[in-house]
């Protein structure tokens, strides 16, 4: 009789606990699996040295499970990201592909776990974190996503204000199976070396003055290499009943700090982008001006949170002035899910004689100063919006890039093709 008396309340307690646990933690969870087939071809042309194409064709799988939060004043949850890449056919992948490991590895991937806690509108994450803001981006632009390890906090406690901060100390790159230190990108030997850092910190936030006007301010510290201050404003203005003006203005200030393991960093970058949108059509005009002694610094194998997301080229050289025109078309009224983009970008006033680690100290190795580069891009993408094949996505990108640097330059004139087919199963 005593055992029966104990079993009943125990079962009731387990039942109540399970219901509470399910409320939020399970009920608000999401689980998905994306299969991505990705082909990339970098055809190096117009070069005095014969450079064979760099080709990658691979199959990837991305399993993404996110829990909700447990009930209570302090709520808890956990996320899981598992990735797997399978090399189908790849050659010369060390030449700027960053999609598959550049050794004989045929399969790679990782399992990353994130613990999270939430109090009111403030969320803390520890473990594998994904970040996207003007000074720090977790790159999604290849077969598998880039992953950083550290901790982040995000708060929306105050109306119209979002604050965020993070600390990261390791990265698992898009083409790697290993966790490693974060390093400075050193394309064309712009800095002293591809310096490693023990830690990266950033903090900042967004403030909405109105539904159409948002400002942001961020600070980034790459320990013993450089720091960066960014500020910007984004605004939408109705010019007529049918035409909107989209404005995006940013400023970045970058300087070397501490032991300056990457050498001198001295860059001010000013940028402005103006988009004119009418229905399904958008025409954008943008410019970026680099000033100071060095190129714009950024993290290796990563990206920069600006409007100009070109593919073979960077447009971050010392003293470079860049101009861009872009056209976007969203065919949602004709064929929902279909989008098209084309863009032409031209940069001049490139200085390379001040690059700090040129082999042999040869200041003319890349062609000297007052150089130029250009890129023409095409992007077509289609995602099935409904029906049996909902969540099937197809995307094709083609770029023609050129510059008048010498054949020693690491970024060479290229005709680049990217094709990917994605399908996502959403289990919850």
Per-residue pLDDT, 307: 86
Per-residue pLDDT, 14: 39
pLDDT in tens, 121-170: 999 999 999 999 999 999 888 999 999 999 999 999 999 999 999 999 99
Query: Is 121 buried (19+), middle (13-18) or exposed (0-12) by CB count in 10 A?
Result: exposed
At 3, phi and psi to the nearest 5? -65, -45
- The answer to whether residue 57 sits within a structural domain is no
Structure-token pair, residue 115: 């613990």
Contacts of 379 (CB under 8 A, 6+ apart): 339, 340, 341, 342, 395, 396, 397
| 3 state SS of 25 | helix
pLDDT in tens, 188-239: 999 999 999 999 999 999 999 999 999 999 999 999 999 999 999 999 999 9
Q: How many domains does the chain have?
A: 1
What is the domain-level CATH number for residue 422? 2.40.160.10
Regarding pTM above 0.85, the answer is: yes
- The answer to whether residue 229 sits within a structural domain is yes
- Please give the Cα distance from 202 to 304 (Å, whole number): 14
What would the mean pLDDT of 15-31 be, rounded to a whole number? 70
Per-residue pLDDT, 29: 92
H helices present in 33-136, as ranges: none
Q: Is it the case that residue 83 has pLDDT exceeding 80?
A: yes
Do 205 and 230 touch, CB atoms closer than 8 A? no
- The answer to whether residue 294 sits within a structural domain is yes
> Could you tell me the CA-to-CA distances from 43 to 83, 119, 185, 302, 411 in Å, in that order?
28, 51, 23, 22, 12
- The answer to whether residue 58 sits within a structural domain is no
| 3 state SS of 5 | helix
H helices present in 1-108, as ranges: 2-21
Residue 165: which domain range? 41-51+120-426
- The answer to whether residue 206 sits within a structural domain is yes
- The answer to whether residue 60 sits within a structural domain is no
Give the count of alpha carbons within 13 A of 329, CB side only.
Answer: 10
Regarding predicted confidence, which is higher, 253 or 19?
253
H helices present in 170-217, as ranges: none
Per-residue pLDDT, 231: 98
Per-residue pLDDT, 47: 63
Structure-token pair, residue 160: 């119209």
Q: In which band, very low, low, confident or very high, does the pLDDT at 103 lie, cut at 50, 70 and 90?
A: confident
């Amino acid at each position: 009789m005593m055992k029966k008396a104990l079993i009943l309340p125990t079962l009731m307690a387990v039942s109540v606990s399970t219901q509470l646990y399910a409320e939020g933690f399970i009920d608000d969870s999401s689980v998905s699996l994306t299969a991505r087939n990705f082909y990339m071809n970098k055809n190096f042309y117009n070069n005095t040295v014969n450079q064979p194409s760099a080709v990658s064709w691979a199959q990837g799988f991305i399993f993404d499970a996110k829990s909700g939060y447990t009930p209570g004043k302090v709520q808890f949850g956990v996320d899981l990201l598992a990735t797997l890449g399978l090399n189908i056919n790849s050659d010369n992948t060390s030449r700027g592909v960053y999609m598959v490991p550049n050794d004989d590895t045929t399969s790679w991937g990782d399992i990353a776990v994130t613990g999270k806690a939430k109090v009111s509108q403030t969320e803390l994450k520890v473990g594998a974190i994904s970040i996207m803001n003007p000074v720090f981006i977790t790159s999604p632009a290849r077969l598998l996503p880039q992953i950083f390890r550290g901790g982040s906090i995000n708060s929306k406690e105050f109306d119209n204000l979002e604050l965020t901060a993070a600390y990261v100390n390791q990265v698992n790159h898009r083409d790697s199976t290993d966790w490693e230190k974060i390093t400075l990108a050193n394309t064309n030997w712009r800095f002293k070396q591809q310096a490693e850092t023990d830690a990266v910190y950033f903090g900042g936030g967004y403030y909405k003055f109105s539904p159409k006007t948002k400002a942001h301010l961020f600070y980034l510290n790459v320990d013993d290499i450089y720091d960066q201050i960014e500020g910007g404003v984004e605004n939408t203005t109705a010019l007529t009943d049918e035409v909107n003006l989209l404005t995006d203005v940013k400023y970045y200030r970058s300087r070397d700090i501490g032991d300056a393991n990457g050498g001198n960093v001295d860059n001010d970058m000013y940028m402005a982008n103006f988009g004119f949108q009418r229905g399904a059509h958008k025409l954008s005009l943008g410019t970026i001006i680099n000033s100071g002694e060095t190129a714009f610094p950024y993290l290796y194998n990563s990206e920069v949170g600006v409007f100009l997301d070109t593919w073979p080229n960077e447009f971050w050289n010392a003293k470079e002035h860049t101009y861009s025109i872009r056209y976007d078309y969203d065919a949602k009224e004709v064929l929902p899910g279909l989008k098209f983009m084309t863009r032409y970008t031209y940069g001049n006033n490139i200085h390379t004689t001040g690059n700090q680690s040129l082999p042999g100290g040869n200041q003319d190795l890349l062609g000297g100063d007052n150089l130029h580069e250009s890129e023409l891009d095409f992007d077509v993408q289609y995602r099935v919006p409904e029906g049996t094949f909902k969540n099937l996505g197809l995307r094709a990108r083609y770029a023609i890039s050129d510059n008048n640097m010498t054949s020693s330059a690491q970024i060479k004139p290229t005709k680049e093709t990217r094709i990917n087919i994605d399908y996502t199963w959403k289990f919850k």
